[in-house]
Structure 1
Amino acid sequence: MSSFAEDLHAALAGPDHSISPKYFYDAQGSSLFERICELPEYYPTRTELALLDQHAPEFAARMGQSAQLIEYGAGALVKVRRLLAHAPQLHSFAPVDISGPHLLAACESLWREYPHLRITPVIADFTRAHRLPEAPEGGRRIGFFPGSSIGNFDPQEALTFLKLLRTELDGGALLIGVDLIKDPALLHAAYNDAQGVTARFNLNLLRHAQRELGLEYDAQGFDHYAFYEPRRQRIEMHLLPRGPQMLQLQGRRYPLVPGQSLHTESSYKYSVETFQQLAREAGFVPQTVWTDDAKWFSLHWLAA
């Protein structure tokens, strides 16, 4: 049984009906997320891109000579281009992503743009143990984890994941994007866009399960629901049943009734100080932090 099937069975059978957001990202989900990143309400992408554009030469200088750049959850390889354009001294680039077809399609254009750079895509769940290309002799590994994807982990999961990266990047560093605590109205708009793209992205998790696992369900039976939970300082995304629903997966039947939901994503927001403390607990040494003028988003350089 695939890990997706195992996790979906556990989510549908469990008391809180919660599943990892990594299962959003089949080819269709990855394409929808690219559209989300272009929406006027979705501030994280444009704010982070502006920071990358402004500080890319400094990031490239910090990498040093003959470094191996590793991007976790690489997706469409949009943001890393800001770094690559200023880092001709890189030894190699290893983008890691769970969606193989999407990653390989993105690498095709990157190979054409950087024909002299070693580009080795790694199709893997980067939250679990995975194999990377051999590190360069005399160089070091630099991790790149943009988009505030660290917010998709609960605090204990985030600590475990950062410890994994600390081991993998030993002797190097991590450049990571972290969304900051802000006005809940801005957060609500970002996750409930007027065009409904985020709703289609959320609902695609069930369609992904239908395509890949044969999930049987009423495609018109669920609504997208997202809200800010201030006590936990996180956005929550759910799929709410419109009425009593029966989902069937590999011969097992799972009822959902109004008042229940499938919890598909959490997106934690941090202060600079609380994130730095988390990084220290994982074994990193926080160094420079860059934020936009409104202090909506931050980029952290963490020494491993």
Structure 2
Amino acid sequence: MDRISGMNETVTQNTELLREALAGLRATPKELQPKWFYDSRGSTLFEEITALPEYYVTRTERAVLRDNVGMIADYVPEGTALVELGSGASTKTRILLDALDAVGTYVPVDISEDFLRSVAQDIDRSYPGLEVVPLAGDLMEDLTLPGIVAGRPIVGFFPGSTLGNLEPPEARALLRRVRGWPGIAGLILGIDLVKDSRVLERAYDDAQGVTAAFNRNILARLNREAGGAFDPDSFGHEARWNAEKSRIEMHLVSRTDQDVPLGPETVSFKAGESIHTENSHKYTRESLTEMAAASGWTVAEFLTDDDGWFAVAVLRPDDVSITG
């Protein structure tokens, strides 16, 4: 589970959420888009997940960044605007900001506008000489960067393996959109790597049940914003490894036969029927290199932990010579 941006959760009647949810729940199999996880409650639960012992992703990525930030600095030009996609609490960003004197502006982009504003204020207080310009937006659409970054070199930061939430065509499309930003000089990208499926399943189904609460929270959001009448406890949380597609899948599985009102319609579930809520694709160096090349990028660095569980890749536009 990672951070895909969506709509502002302060809207009490969210017509876009209702429209997308009805379309997904009419489908076979049923599905909901993971961007709707991240209201304020979902964002808080996600931050709790990152500290769980089973969820190796965050601590491993932090270690890779800390161990290699000097090398990463070689790819950050003077006066850079650092644009972080799916910024969350921006904890990993501080590793970069502490070490990269070349960064003059920080643009965090995230789903939850209230959460984003609070985090941006914290960063602004911690780095008095840094311009902090938060941007609420949907990563699945074209982003208009703030005018303040015009004419500056731009380096994207996309940590947390969020790219893995997207289907391969969507991931390539997002990488192409970032490649098209004026002034783009590089992208620092976190990706989770293929490994023992038991490690992966534990990471997405922790013993304390925090991930289960995170998954069910999307049903609570449907109740609050889209006229739903779900009983979240009537759905079980499951994490499944799909070896054919190299991805972990999260599902909400109906415990009983039930009919659930949602807006103007009623959604029927059979016992054992699931709602597919999220994918988290896992990569190899080869599969990332192929995806990057198809999206206008070259992999300049592929930095991993000693176990080879997680990688931070530095991508350069494919028409820029690689140095450093």
* TM-score bracket, shorter-length normalisation: over 0.9
Task: Give 1:159-170 correspondences, 5 Å limit.
Answer: 159-168=172-181
Q: Does residue 154 of structure 1 match 2:167? A: yes
Q: 2:223 aligns with which of 197, 204, 210?
A: 210
Distance 1:103 1:210 in 2: 23
Q: 1:3 aligns with which of 9, 12, 16?
A: 16
Q: Which residue of 2 aligns with 1:145?
A: 158
Query: Could you give the per-residue CA deviations for residues 118-164 of structure 1, whole angstroms, max 9, x where no partner exists?
Result: 11100111221122112646531100000001110111111111111
Q: Which residue of 1 aligns with 2:3?
A: none
Q: Which residue of 2 aligns with 1:126?
A: 139
RMSD: 1.4
Per-residue deviation, 1:97: 0.5
| Matching residue's letter, 1:151 | G
Q: 1:41 aligns with which of 54, 58, 72?
A: 54
Q: Which residue of 1 aligns with 2:67?
A: 54
Q: 2:97 aligns with which of 80, 84, 96?
A: 84
Q: SS where residue 75 of structure 2 aligns?
A: helix
Q: Which residue of 1 aligns with 2:5?
A: none
Identity %: 38
State the TM-score, normalizing by the size of structure 2: 0.90
Q: SS where residue 285 of structure 1 aligns?
A: strand
Q: SS where residue 91 of structure 1 aligns?
A: strand
Where does the alignment leave 5 or more consecutive residues of structure 2 unmatched?
1-13, 318-324
| Matching residue's letter, 2:270 | V
Q: 1:67 aligns with which of 77, 80, 104?
A: 80
Where does the alignment leave 5 or more consecutive residues of structure 1 unmatched?
none
Q: Which residue of 1 aligns with 2:186?
A: 173
Per-residue deviation, 1:14: 1.2
Q: SS where residue 30 of structure 2 aligns?
A: coil
Per-residue deviation, 1:180: 0.5
Per-residue deviation, 1:85: 0.6
Per-residue deviation, 1:221: 1.0
State the TM-score, normalizing by the size of structure 1: 0.96
1:135–1:105 Cα change, 3 Å: closer
Q: Which residue of 1 aligns with 2:247?
A: 234
1:31–1:292 Cα change, 3 Å: same
Query: Could you give the per-residue CA deviations for residues 203-261 of structure 1, whole angstroms, max 9, x where no partner exists?
Result: 01111222222211223211101111111111000000000122222121111112321
Distance 1:169 1:278 in 2: 21
| Matching residue's letter, 1:267 | S
Q: Which residue of 2 aligns with 1:105?
A: 118
Q: Which stretch shows the higher mean deviation, 188-197 or 124-133?
A: 124-133
Query: Could you give the per-residue CA deviations for residues 89-114 of structure 1, whole angstroms, max 9, x where no partner exists?
Result: 32211000111011111112111111
Matched-pair contact (CA < 8 Å) for 2:256–2:272: no
| Matching residue's letter, 2:123 | L
Q: How many residues align?
A: 304
